[in-house]
Amino acid sequence: MIDALLFPDARDALYDLIDGATHLGKPVHATYQLQADNVTGAIKGPFPVALIYVTGGTRGFVDRVDRATIELYAPGQQAINTLESIAASIIGEDIETPSGFIDKIEQDITPADVPYQSDTLNKAIATFLVTSRPI
CATH fold group of domain 10-132 = STM4215-like (3.30.2000)
In order of 67, 127, 130, the CA distances from 58 in angstroms are 8, 15, 10
Q: Is the pLDDT of residue 116 over 80?
A: yes
Residue 1's pLDDT band (boundaries 50, 70, 90)?
Answer: very low
Q: What percent of the chain has pLDDT over 70?
A: 96
Side-by-side strand order, sheet with 49-59: 29-31, 49-59, 64-74, 122-132, 100-114, 92-97
Q: Quick one: average pLDDT of 37-52? A: 88
Task: State which H helix or E strand residue 131 sits in.
Answer: strand 122-132
* Model confidence pLDDT, tens digit, residues 63-83: 899 999 999 999 999 999 999
C-beta separation of 86 from 70 below 8 A: yes
Domain ranges for the chain: 10-132
Taking the whole predicted model, whether its pTM rises above 0.85 is answered as yes
